[in-house]
């Protein structure tokens, strides 16, 4: 069952700005991030609170976009108890009724790595990630201090691996870190299915929220997140009802 985390002492919590770098969402823009001190041994303790402040994890780095003159990245989360799937999401569940969900410790397998590399080659060709191997897999998806799980989606019967949703587990929530799936099965909406199954998981364990990372208005790869209602968005101070249609 989810419980409200107790906030650790923040007297010496340190935050840093990264240098400027190319934006991962809009390549023509320059980005900058705010990060928690990656050497702080309390990162695991701080992480649940950082999620509530609009931060996100990538490997061992806990960051939040903090770009000059741009606030396009909006942290969003699903209120699990109030979520009701829409017609399209119900069709996705029906279309994948025979898909089995299995939750495992976050340990790389050859089968997962092969699927990950196929996914990157299809979805991120030429973007730098398509050269990832086992080392990058572990550094990007697992990290050294986070408590995370691999939610596998498999075809019932022969057990073919269809998708993996890398999910962080904290006291009161789950956080969807990254999902990769069979690029030849785009018509199955496996990314949507992974979120729906993470919601089921969170609800079963009585966790209040599923964090989805950042929504960006007008970005085709981020638009799907607004369809999970009711959605909450972080405005820099508080979480409020997401109002974009």
What was the pLDDT predicted at 27? 85
- What is the 8-class DSSP label of residue 5? P
Q: Is 132 helix (H, G, I), strand (E, B) or coil?
A: coil
The total number of residues written for the chain in this structure = 245
Q: Is 19 helix (H, G, I), strand (E, B) or coil?
A: coil
Phi, psi of 181 (to 5 degrees): -150, 170
What was the pLDDT predicted at 6? 53
Rounded to the nearest angstrom, the gap between the alpha carbon of residue 169 and the centroid of all alpha carbons in its chain is 11
Written as six digits, the tokens of 231 are: 């959605």
Token pair 């904290």: residue: 170
- Please count the other Cβ atoms lying within 10 Å of the Cβ belonging to residue 6: 9
What was the pLDDT predicted at 47? 97
> How far apart are the C-alpha atoms of 126 and 75, rounded to whole Å?
27
**CB within 8 A of 218, min separation 6: which ones?**
none
Q: For every residue of the chain, which 3-state class applies, written as one string?
A: CCCCCCCCCCCCCCEEECCCEECCCCCCCEECEEEECCCCCCHHHHHHHHHHCCCEEECCEEEEECECCECCEEEEEEEHHHCCCCHHHHHHHHHCCCEEEEEEECCCCHHHHHHHHHHHHHHCCCCCHHHCCHHHHHHHHHCCCCCEEEEEEEECCCCCEEEEEEEEEECCEEEEEEEEECHHHHHHCHHHHHHHHHHHHHHHCCCCEEEEEEEECCCCCCHHHHHCCCEEEECCCCEEECCCC
What was the pLDDT predicted at 130? 66
Q: Is 134 helix (H, G, I), strand (E, B) or coil?
A: helix
pLDDT (tens place) for every residue of the chain, 245 residues total:
444 445 555 567 899 999 999 998 888 999 999 999 999 999 999 999 999 999 999 999 999 999 998 999 999 999 999 999 999 999 999 999 999 999 999 999 999 999 999 999 998 666 557 678 999 999 999 989 999 999 999 999 879 999 999 999 999 999 999 999 999 999 999 999 999 999 999 999 999 999 999 999 989 888 889 999 999 999 999 999 998 76
User: What's the pTM?
Assistant: 0.92
């Amino acid at each position: 069952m989810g419980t409200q985390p107790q906030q650790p002492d923040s007297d010496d919590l340190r935050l840093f700005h990264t240098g400027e770098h190319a934006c991962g969402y809009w390549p023509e823009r320059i980005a900058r991030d705010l990060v928690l001190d990656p050497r702080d041994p309390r990162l695991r303790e701080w992480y649940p609170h950082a999620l509530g402040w609009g931060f996100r994890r990538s490997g061992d780095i806990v960051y939040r976009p903090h770009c000059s003159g741009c606030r396009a990245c909006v942290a969003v989360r699903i209120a699990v108890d109030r979520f009701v799937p829409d017609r399209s999401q119900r069709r996705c569940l029906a279309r994948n009724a025979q898909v089995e969900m299995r939750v495992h410790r976050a340990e790389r397998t050859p089968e997962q790595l092969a699927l990950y590399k196929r996914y990157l080659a299809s979805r991120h060709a030429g973007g730098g990630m398509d050269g990832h191997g086992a080392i990058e897999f572990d550094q990007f998806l697992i990290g050294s201090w986070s408590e995370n799980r691999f939610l596998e989606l498999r075809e019932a019967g022969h057990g073919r691996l269809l998708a993996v949703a890398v999910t962080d587990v904290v006291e009161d929530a789950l956080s969807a870190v990254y999902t990769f799936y069979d690029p030849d099965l785009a018509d199955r909406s496996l990314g949507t299915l992974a979120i729906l199954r993470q919601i089921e998981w969170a609800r079963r364990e009585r966790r209040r929220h599923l964090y989805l990372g950042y929504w960006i208005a007008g970005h085709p790869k981020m638009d799907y997140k607004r369809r999970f209602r009711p959605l909450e968005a972080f405005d820099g101070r508080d979480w409020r009802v997401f109002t974009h249609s």
